[in-house]
Structures are given as structure tokens and as C-alpha cells.
Amino acid sequence: MTLNDPRIARLITLIRAALRPPPGAGRIVVALGFGALCHLLFALGVLAMVVAMFFGMSESLGSVPWPWAVLANAALIVQFPLAHSLLLTGPGGRFLARLVPGPHGRTLATTTYAIIASAQLLALFAFWTPSGVVWWRAEGGLFWAVTTAYAASWLILLKASFDAGAEVQSGALGWMSLLARKTPVFPDMPTQGVFRVIRQPIYAAFALTLWTVPVWTPDQLVLAISFTAYCLLAPRLKERRFAARYGNRFAAYRAGVPYMLPRPPTSKDQPHAQ
């Protein structure tokens, strides 16, 4: 990976432009305000998710009385994939562009999307009401093995997000483009890095984080099953958008790269195999 790599070059170009913003105090204040809010919520949402799942959803701030907690927790689960998917549709994108009053709504759409998604994750993992039941807790060497797998899953997710376009995944594209007074430039169809191995590495890595935790509870099992189903089904909608946008390029990519599970190596992939 070099500075000429498009994944790096896009970031460098965007950061350089943002560091030299054209005049416009109001625009600059709006951009920086949205950027600060976006990355604060993003950090809090990811931290809440990492910590809550590490403890199998047994440690959280939710305190809804049972059995009403079942409905509250179900609502927390449903709200994330529902809004996450709807906002990626055409009408959802237009809604995001209108959500911020004034002339900057369209430019800030990716940042607004990241703010909403981060707030949803923070709500889910911070305000879950634990059942209080712990089925299994890894100990000794097994604890370190499972924790290593959990950390590796998050690193794969981080790498996949970078390969897909770090500026979009983090929400930085919108506010930095506004700061630089530029039209947001979206990444091309991702095919590099882990996207060479499978078409949906972000969803696959997120599913891995759900199943590599060192503490298992009924709460974690419900979350893992629900979100794994989402990770398997939601990319189908994404691929429809890609098929419409990229046409034959995506068709060729889809024909050569598996959906979610890597293809086992064959003798053709190993020219030196005997």
C-alpha cells in the first residue's frame, strides 16, 4: 500500500483541502460542529458496542422492569437495522439531504447518516436491560484465546471499513467536504483489500464480533442471531444498488468473488503446489 493507493490518496486529498478551507465563517463553524458531533458519537457508539458485547450484554445502563424489558430490548434491536437500511435507499438519501436546514444538507448527508447510526448503536448497547443470566464465561487460557479472536474480528472490521472508504464509513466525507467547500467525492466500487476475498467483508466481520465474545448470556444469543440474520440479508439490498450503479462491472465482480464466505484455495490458486 502506497500513497498512490486510491484509498490513501482520497484521504490525503480530502484532508489537505479541509486544512485550507476557503473563507466562510458560518460554513466552517457548521462543518466543524458536525464533525465534532459525528466523531464523538461514533467513538462512544463503537466503545459501547465493544464493551457491552465483551461482557455478553450483561453489563449495561438499562433498567426497564421485566417483562417490559423484553419489548424495550426488542425495540433497541429493531431500530438499528431498520433505520440503517431505510436511510440507504433513494428516499432515505433524499430525507438525509433535507434533514439539515439550509444549503448544506446534501453535502453533510454522509455525516448526518453516521451521526444517526452512531446514536442508534450507542442507544442499543448503553441502554440494553440485562437479563441477569450468565450461561458461560471463558476462563484461563480459553479467555485469552476467545478475547484474541474477538479483537481480531474488530481488526478485520476496521480493515474492511478502510477498504470500503474510511471517509464514508466514519462520516468524515460530508463535513470535510463542506469545510473545503467541495462536492463530496465518493469512493469507487470497492474491490481491493478484503473485498478481493469476499464481497461483503464489513457485514461478515461484524457477524464475527457477535460470536467471538468471552461471555455468553441469553441477551448475547438474541443479539447475535438477530444481527447475523441482518448481516446475511441486508447486503442483498446493497448489491441491488451496486448492480444498478455499476452494471457489468459489478456483475463481473459478483461472478468472481463469493458473497460472505471465502472460497477455499484450489490448485489453480497455488501454482507451486505439487
Q: Which pLDDT tens digit goes with each residue over 203-244?
A: 999 999 999 999 999 999 999 999 999 999 989 988 998 999
Three-class SS state of 162: helix
Q: How far is CA 242 from CA 89, 134, 169, 170, 253, in A?
A: 12, 42, 17, 20, 11
Note the pLDDT of residue 272. Answer: 46
> What pTM was computed for the model?
0.88
Note the pLDDT of residue 268. Answer: 55
Q: Are strands 215-216 and 136-137 parallel, antiparallel or unpaired?
A: antiparallel
Is the pLDDT assigned to residue 1 strictly greater than 80? Answer: no
Phi, psi of 104 (to 5 degrees): -105, 5
- Write the single-letter amino acid at 42: F
pLDDT bin (cut points 50, 70, 90) of residue 271 is very low
Q: How far is CA 250 from CA 49, 100, 185, 224, 257, in A?
A: 32, 33, 20, 30, 10
